[in-house]
Amino acid sequence: MKNNRQFTKILGVGAYVPEKVVTNDDLCKIVDTSDEWIQSRTGIRERRIARADQTTSDLCVCAARRAMENANISVGDIDLILTGTITSDTAFPSTSTFVQKKLGVKDIPCIDYNVACSGLQYGLEIARSFIESQRYKKILLICGDKLSAVTDWQDRSTCVLFGDGAGAIVLSATEKEEENSIIDILLGANGEHTEILMMPAGGSREPASEESVKGRRHFLKMSGRDVFREAVKIMGSCAQEILDRNGMSANDVDFVVTHQANWRIIDAIRERLNVPSEKVCVTIDKYGNTSASSCIIAIDSLIGSNKIVPGSKVLTVSFGAGLTWGAAILKF
Ligand code: UT7
């Protein structure tokens, strides 16, 4: 083991969304809703939905390949796969092991973690700890979800909100402090709020039964107003806290990338941080809420349009089921 201090460098980012576009008008054909309601309450115009034969690991593999290509590395260079998902291919084994097989690598460790939409920030913290403790050198961090598989397409209060997608980041050890990409990470959770956003059945608390299926309890259930209120409160204070403890203001970052759950939530965070809208990335109109991948998809789109360039600083903040939350300040 080396003794020199190691830092964590973002080598490459990649994202994938399925080809199929489902518009708000398409949803009007299956539930009692309207394009006007969905757009005015959420900012969503359309979302991508995976094919029936596409699993979460398929989405993850597409994003991972793009991230590795952008990082200019091959799959053989990766020594750990870390996947944040709430819609794993099967209850077990982990989605990471399916990803490993599909990427054609063997023997490297595979870990899944479940923090819902805060997956990017939690994943960065886990990856950074592994790299800085000198256990691993190149980590493939993936956040992916096929939320359409746990969406109740008869429930208009949730089915209009979500989409499928995946994002991936290749993180590498470096001895050069100037290459360090992770300025700070702040994580938190409050188990008092487990009941306001969950899939009630299918776990040890309520194993699958005829009743659980009839009761549609294998689908995502959400108390939208409660989640909305907590999201604004938590993401606002978490973003402010990480800036404060680094002696920064939102003016010191080039972009703010929040979890894409609702345009009104994103705008409330923008107001709280007092930043102009040009600095705040919004992709929810095109993809809906894609869970943990939403921040990576947004970062990938900023890189793709040459807005994030080497040296850019990005504040990213998320919240998700649990409730969990996290913020990170990154330097590209
Ligand atoms: O990453 C996961 C985290 N999830 C979130 O962040 C979601 C947070 N919550 C939200 O974004 C919002 O609460 C929603 C978009 C889910 C709902 O917006 P809202 O302004 O809180 O609406 P509401 O739930 O208070 O419902 C208002 C009305 C209700 O009708 P009544 O009771 O006032 O007659 C609903 O039945 O809107 C009705 N409604 C709809 N109408 C048309 C609910 N869903 C729909 C719909 N189309 N799709």
Domain interval for residue 84: 7-177
In a domain, 158, yes or no: yes
Beta bridge partner(s), residue 316: 257, 328
Distance CA 140, CA 158 (A): 31
Distance CA 227, CA 232 (A): 9
Where does a domain end: 137, 158, 177? 177
Give yes or no for residue 277 having a pLDDT over 70: yes
Which pLDDT value is given to residue 3? 65
232: phi then psi, degrees, rounded to nearest 5: -65, -45
- Is the domain of 48 the same as that of 119? yes
Strands 46-48 and 21-23: antiparallel
- Is the domain of 47 the same as that of 136? yes
- Is the domain of 144 the same as that of 229? no
- Is the domain of 192 the same as that of 173? no
- Is the domain of 142 the same as that of 260? no
Closest ligand 1 atom to residue 291 Cα is 1
Specify whether the CB–CB gap between 238 and 317 falls below 8 A: yes
- Is the domain of 150 the same as that of 210? no
Q: 194: which DSSP letter?
A: G
Q: How confident is the model at residue 209 (pLDDT cuts 50, 70, 90)?
A: very high
- Is the domain of 96 the same as that of 243? no
In a domain, 225, yes or no: yes
CA of 155 to the centre of ligand 1 (A): 11
- Is the domain of 186 the same as that of 131? no
Distance CA 167, CA 82 (A): 12
Beta bridge partner(s), residue 280: 256
Q: For residue 301, what is the domain's CATH number?
A: 3.40.47.10
- Catalytic positions are 117, 259, 289
Distance CA 284, CA 121 (A): 19
In a domain, 2, yes or no: no
In a domain, 172, yes or no: yes
Distance CA 66, CA 88 (A): 21
**Stretch (H or E) spanning 256:** strand 255-258
In a domain, 1, yes or no: no
In a domain, 91, yes or no: yes
- Is the domain of 14 the same as that of 97? yes
pLDDT tens digits for 167-201?
A: 999 999 999 999 999 999 999 999 999 999 999 99
pLDDT tens digits for 1-52?
A: 556 899 999 999 999 999 999 999 999 999 999 999 999 999 999 999 999 9
CA of 229 to the centre of ligand 1 (A): 12
Beta bridge partner(s), residue 327: 186, 317
- Is the domain of 127 the same as that of 114? yes
Contact 113 CB / ligand 1 (< 6 Å): no
- Which amino acid appears at position 117 of this protein? C
CA distances from 80 to 90, 120, 131, 227 (A): 20, 16, 10, 33
Percent of the chain with pLDDT over 70: 99
Which pLDDT value is given to residue 228? 97
Closest ligand 1 atom to residue 319 Cα is 1
In a domain, 146, yes or no: yes
| Residues in CB range of 116: below 8 A, 6 or more apart | 86, 197, 291, 292, 320, 321, 322, 324
Q: Other C-beta atoms within 10 Å of 197: how many?
A: 23
Mean pLDDT confidence for 91-110: 97
Question: Between 319 and 2, where is the model more confident?
Answer: 319
Where does a domain end: 145, 177, 209? 177
Which pLDDT value is given to residue 2? 54
- Is the domain of 186 the same as that of 282? yes
Task: Indicate if the alpha-carbon torsion angle 167, 12, 125, 80 is positive or negative.
Answer: positive
In a domain, 27, yes or no: yes
pLDDT tens digits for 219-236?
A: 999 999 999 999 999 999
Exposure of 78 by Cβ count < 10 A (0-12 exposed, 13-18 middle, 19+ buried)? buried
Contact 296 CB / ligand 1 (< 6 Å): no
- Please tell me the pTM assigned to this model: 0.97
Number of structural domains found in the chain: 2
Distance CA 42, CA 39 (A): 5
Contact 33 CB / ligand 1 (< 6 Å): yes
- To test the pocket of ligand 1, the residue of 47, 120, 157, 158 to mutate (highest count of ligand atoms within 8 Å of its CB) is 157
11: phi then psi, degrees, rounded to nearest 5: -90, -30
Beta bridge partner(s), residue 329: 184, 315
Ligand 1 atom 17: the closest Cα is on which residue? 224
- Is the domain of 209 the same as that of 325? yes
Contact 293 CB / ligand 1 (< 6 Å): no
Where does a domain end: 177, 204, 233? 177
Which pLDDT value is given to residue 4? 87
